[in-house]
Chain A
Amino acid sequence: MAGRQMTYLTDALMITCIVQASQAEKVVKAAQDVGAQGATVTYARGTGIRERMGLMGVAIDEQKEMIRIIVSQEQADRVFEAMYLAGDLDKPGMGIMFMNDLDRIATYIPDEIIAAAKKPAKKKPVKKPAAKKSGAKK
């Protein structure tokens, strides 16, 4: 392990979205369309709203898909909104989503990206304010 260093990514959030089975595809597509890299999807079983809706509950699939997407702080709100709209989460029984702050992420980062991040940003030349002429007549 000597000589190896770990670089962490920060300022990231995880969006978790739980939708009915087979709905994940379009939600992930919507997230990717607004800049998300991709998603991890798992299967789950849900309960709650299905029972509360009585007879109407049979229309809600018990099988769920759980989508996890990690995004940067800048894109978080945009991706969250796109997923919400694509999943029709404003309709009852369609699902739920939430977002958590992440402390840090570790993954493979190419050396050139690390090197570029370590370079100090070039300073823009600052325009000097025009020197006031002393002794100007009023």
Chain B
Amino acid sequence: MITEIGAFLHKGTGNKLLAQLKDDKRVLGIYVEAGRTEDLFAFREFGSASENDIVTVLVETKNADKIFKLITQKADLSEPQSGLVYQMPLHKRAS
């Protein structure tokens, strides 16, 4: 079984997280997307939205807890407006 760990972060922090995790043997895959968010950050650029990075990390379920904690530490969620990290089970893996 594998698990998806996703993070909605400030613009620019997604690639930093990718650089920190890409050599971790427990990470099966890591992807960064750029998007816009309506509610995560108070800073507004485009009317009601602000730019953000979405990081998707795929890991074995047995490693999910450790990687989840690692990502939340690196994202520093102790401050308001710092983003959000989620964990979601996936059903099948093929590679």
Contacts and interface: CB of A to CB of B under 8 A. Distances in A.
B52 to A, nearest CB: 7
A4 B78 contact: yes
Interface residues of B, number: 31
Nearest to B48: A38
Contacts of B38: 28, 32, 37-41
Interface in A63-119: 66, 68, 70, 100-108, 110
B77 to A, nearest CB: 5
B2 interface: no
B72 A106 contact: yes
A110 B78 CA distance: 9
A43 B85 CA distance: 20
Counting chain A CB atoms within 10 Å of each CB, the highest count among B78, B86, B88 belongs to: B86
Contacts of B69: 6
Main secondary structure of the interface of A (DSSP, over half): strand
B64 to A, nearest CB: 8
Interface string A1-21: 100101000001010000000
A103 B54 contact: no
Contact of A106 (B35, B54, B77, B88): B77
A107 B87 contact: no
Nearest to B61: A103
A52 B92 CA distance: 27
Contacts of B78: 4, 108
B30 interface: no
Nearest to A7: B77
Given A40-B40, A42-B35, A105 B52 contact: no
Contacts of A43: 35
B35 A41 contact: yes
A28 B49 CA distance: 11
Contacts of A105: 84-87
What 7 pairs between A and B have smallest CB-CB spacing? A38-B39, A38-B38, A42-B35, A107-B84, A103-B87, A37-B39, A40-B37
